[in-house]
Structure 1
């Protein structure tokens, strides 16, 4: 198994001669070191509930941990932003997705974690019910008065008609100007792009899509529209201004805040990797991915139940945070201490070299990793809100909180690499896999680069230059060894380099 992505170790000495014997080859994919979910980064009341839910449901703690982050983001509802430096701010909404096979009690975990949000939603609805009823009555009375005035104007004499028409028009405008508040809603499930826009518009710019299924990706891919519709999801994550101008509706959202907390079957990861434009437009780069190991087959028959006090504290804190921020119009600005800013900056400096297209660990997923520091800042804001609740905006975010968020960011980074491996995000790995399968059908112990190119599809390997990165990766993983080119000294084209092939090439269990 490879070293942890975040262990900064010196590269091996490449000047050492290779031993004559073959080492075991390293698989091209599926050998990532995945970090365990660091529940200790949460404030105690969140950590205790997450661990208790994982114990009672006998599910990986990663599931409850990721859902908890989405719950905190829903409670924040875009009403808080993290001020980094200068004009750089990050909102507090997140996109998370956990991949687990069937029979992992995903719905039970979602229900336990999100239940306080529904309670908070009901309290908000009860609070606004009188204002809604009053506005509805006012609008009805004004509309009826306008209709009476219009009828009177229609039957009036010519001399009186103009004045009565003006009165009727004025009353109609008054009726139309009455705004009826929308019933508060925090959560939606598998909403279409149009529904997401409408919900955010009527809910003051925020909504959260939480689901233990992955149907939302089918909807984004165009199940109903016939074509992908990612715009509302992209802007809802980034907080970019969203405007819809159509004949049937006009919706303007200056600062949308969309949160998504999803759990899908692993197969869905393969499917979403094929959403047209999903990588190019940045949709897949916005999710924080988790790929935990299923506990099915190793679960306790009689696990410890969630302690009542732990459940009650979690519910109380989530409800209090949600209700406190619900009425904010201007966002609560969370400032970083100088030490916290320095910690985040140091993390950014660690991430940046890994984004290099050549040689960087994140080079093939820079669309995702380029947002990692921003996502870490968002997580830091959520941890700060969870720790301090209604007093969070009066206190700066500390370096300890930022370091906890960085640890969560590192966790998501290792899982993102594994997820994008599944999606075939690295074209070099995909091509190397094709070459490996071709070598498995070759009878000899070695092959020239020229002969190998002939065996491959010209649509994928048009030139030798297309083949070289794949061969280099296979050589790095111990599947082939390039032999010194023996030059004859004569005229003509130099001989093609030859590659020795690992003797276990036909053992499919090694790849």
Structure 2
């Protein structure tokens, strides 16, 4: 924040051609972002009731339970359903969500309440799969033994019978090789390494969820423990892009990975991940839906209403039923949109698109994130739809009302993403603009050329004069400086280059 500005005339040494200019107070480059509360009312009834009850009993913002509830639904449906938007555009139904709250906000308690039914669903899947695994293991062992006996018999056979016995042995060996033993079903992993996540996803048919009340997964992705960043599985696991791992020790193929991530972290974690080289450039940060709610610490009630048993039971039962109903799908269930739902999504896209412009667009500095907003909205619409209809949601299309609810969630996450990316310092234009203000103040310049200004700035931050232009435009829009054209001093030659006149209060300001 820059202080000490007032309405002043330019200094007496104003350059020729720079007419007297009345300066008004500049507009701060950034202000406090408006962060709307989580729109609990858009959730299906049984989810809404539980989120509201959890927020009341734990005295936490509904944003925490609401965002985790979406991650829970994505865990239940991810990898087992896709939403067909239009044409060849399909979106998987997995999500990456992260909620940031300071310590003492009972994140772990809320996390447990929301995710417990997933662990129960996983337990039921394991119980149901156990006899199948045992039978498959016995069948595979017998098949290998039969192939071994046939191979031994062929090896000791007389020449006239050897060809036939070899063919029999080869056939039995091929049969044994083709038999696979199912693995224990796993829905959830904690802060696992990229290698562990990849292996688990390969075993689980491409489906997995990483849920944690800490932010350690970001340290793991950044390579803080392995020495090298490894984000491939987290990039492709969100988009559903084919993943191939070919190493000396293992080969794993996942045709349609569907990874869900649900995190509850401290705000400091967001500041740190914004500094990690490669996270933003490769698009990892653009894949998360962010929530940065206002902490209720200091205003919490001591005696609160407990979660009603019926509300908790309905939530647990429905999460388990939704998970189990889709667990056996190998080809994902395809969820369609009604024409009205598609029209609502198109209208939303048309509103968002102009905001992605690099210059002047509200979302221009987070265009990587906002460019995925329509897809994320379609995913949330499908999840709300499945939660509304539970076991048979894939038999009917998403309605306009459900899409409108998802769009409201998209607008909520957009407002919070703007605040989060401010925290992470993800807008390079604002950073460069602040460096320009520092340079104008440090050099005590009231009037300067672009070239002279460029020479005192860091080449790392401002590689070219072209990179300087958006920052100058932003500062001019906010009243910190103005560009003017000096008068010609002669009749021949090029006209003088435009110059920059700085607000006279800059040299007296404090950061």
Query: Which position in structure 1 is the counterpart of 2:504?
Result: 501
- Residues 1:124 and 1:459: Cα distance change in structure 2 (over 3 Å): closer
Structure 2 SS opposite 1:56: helix
TM-fit CA distance, 1:132: 0.8
Number of the residue aligned with 2:211: 210
Taking the aligned partners of 2:208 and 2:97, their CA distance within structure 1 comes to 15
For residues 488 and 340 of structure 1, the distance between their equivalents in structure 2, rounded to whole angstroms, comes to: 60
Distance 1:94 1:505 in 2: 48
Name the SS for the 1:407 alignment partner: helix
Aligned to 1:139: 140
Name the residue aligned to 1:435. 436
Instruction: Please tell me whether the aligned partners of residues 439 and 505 of structure 1 are also in contact (alpha carbons under 8 angstroms).
Output: no
Q: 1:482 matched to which residue of 2?
A: 482
- Give the match's secondary structure for 1:300: coil
Q: What is the CA-CA distance between 1:270 and the residue it aligns to?
A: 2.9
Q: Distance in 2 between matches of 1:392 and 1:495?
A: 62
Check 1:246–1:481 CA distance in 2 against 1; reply closer, same or farther (3 A cut): closer
* Match of residue 13 from structure 1: none
Q: Deviations over 1:312-333 (max 9, x none)?
A: 1110111111111111222222
State the Cα distance separating 1:101 from its structure 2 match. Answer: 2.2
Matched residue, 1:126:
127
- Once the two structures are superposed, what CA deviation does each residue of 1:34-53 show, in whole Å capped at 9, x if it has no partner? 22211111011111111211
Cα distance in 1 for partners of 2:54, 2:220 equals: 30
In structure 2, distance between residues paired with 1:382 and 1:255:
18
SS of alignment partner, residue 501 of structure 1: coil
- CA distance 1:141–1:359, shift in 2 (3 Å): same
For residues 275-296 of structure 1, the C-alpha deviation after alignment (integer angstroms, 9 at most, x for no partner) is 3432332222111111112222
Structure 1 Cα separation of the partners of residues 465 and 330 of structure 2: 59
Partners of 2:497 and 2:248 in 1: how far apart? 69
Residue 10 of structure 1 corresponds to none
Superposed CA RMSD in Å reads: 2.9
Q: TM-score, normalised by structure 1?
A: 0.87
Aligned to 1:375: 376
Post-superposition Cα deviations, 1:393-441, rounded to whole Å, max 9, x if no partner, equal: 2222111110110010011111112222233322211101112233444
> In the alignment, what sits opposite 2:88?
87
| CA separation of 1:383 and 1:153: change in aligned 2, threshold 3 A | same
Mapped contact 1:198–1:251 kept (Cα < 8 A): yes
Q: Which moved more, 1:422-431 or 1:458-467?
A: 458-467
Residue 456 of structure 1 and its aligned partner are, at CA, apart by 3.2
When residues 496 and 484 of structure 1 are mapped into structure 2, their CA distance, relative to the original with a 3 A threshold, is: closer
Name 1:278's counterpart in structure 2.
279
2:40 aligns with 39
Q: Give the length in aligned residue pairs.
A: 489
Distance in 2 of aligned mates of 1:469 and 1:176: 62
User: CA 1:192/1:457 → structure 2, altered by over 3 Å: closer, same or farther?
Assistant: closer
Corresponding residue for residue 408 of structure 2: 407
1:345 matched residue in structure 2: 346
The answer on whether the counterparts of 1:228 and 1:276 sit within 8 Å (CA) in structure 2 is no
Instruction: State the Cα deviation string for residues 158-216 of structure 1 (Å, max 9, x = none).
Output: 88777666655544444333221111111111222222222122212211111111121
Whole-angstrom distance in 2 between the partners of 1:118 and 1:410 = 31
Aligned to 1:332: 333
Give the distance between the partners of 2:401 and 2:352, measured in 1 at CA.
Answer: 19
What SS does the corresponding residue of 1:471 show, helix, strand or coil?
helix
Contact 1:206–1:258 (Cα < 8 Å) also in 2:
yes
Q: Distance in 2 between matches of 1:459 and 1:135?
A: 59
Deviation at 1:146, TM superposition (A): 4.2
> Residue 94 of structure 1 contacts residue 258 of structure 1 at CA under 8 Å; is this kept in 2?
yes
Instruction: Give the conservation status (yes or no) of the 8 Å contact 1:449–1:499.
Output: no
Unaligned segments of structure 2, at least 5 residues: 1-19
1:302 alignment counterpart: 303
User: Are residues 138 and 221 of structure 1, via their aligned partners in 2, closer, same or farther at CA, if it must alter by over 3 Å?
Assistant: same
Output the CA distance in 1 between the equivalents of 2:128 and 2:407: 38
Is 422-431 or 118-127 further displaced after alignment? 422-431
- The CA deviation at 1:452 is 4.3
Over residues 46-65 of structure 1, what are the superposed CA-to-partner deviations in whole Å (9 max), with x where a residue is unaligned?
A: 11111211222222211111
Structure 1 stretches lacking a partner, 5+ long: 1-17
1:257-272 matches, within 5 Å, as 257-272=258-273
Task: Give secondary structure in 2 for the equivalent of 1:497.
Answer: strand
Distance 2:219 2:465 in 1: 39
**After superposition, where does 1:144-159 map in structure 2 within 5 Å?**
144-148=145-149
Deviation digits for residues 427-478 of structure 1, max 9, x if unmatched? Answer: 211101112233444557x343456445433554466554443233223334
State the shift of 1:500 in Å: 2.0
User: What's the secondary structure of 2:385's corresponding residue?
Assistant: helix
Greater Cα shift, 31-40 or 147-156:
147-156
DSSP 3-state at the match of 1:183: coil
Q: CA deviation at 1:21?
A: 6.6
Counterpart mapping for 1:139-218 below 5 A? 139-148=140-149, 168-218=169-219
Q: Is the 8 A contact 1:485 1:498 kept in 2?
A: no
Alpha carbons 2:341, 2:403 under 8 Å: kept: yes
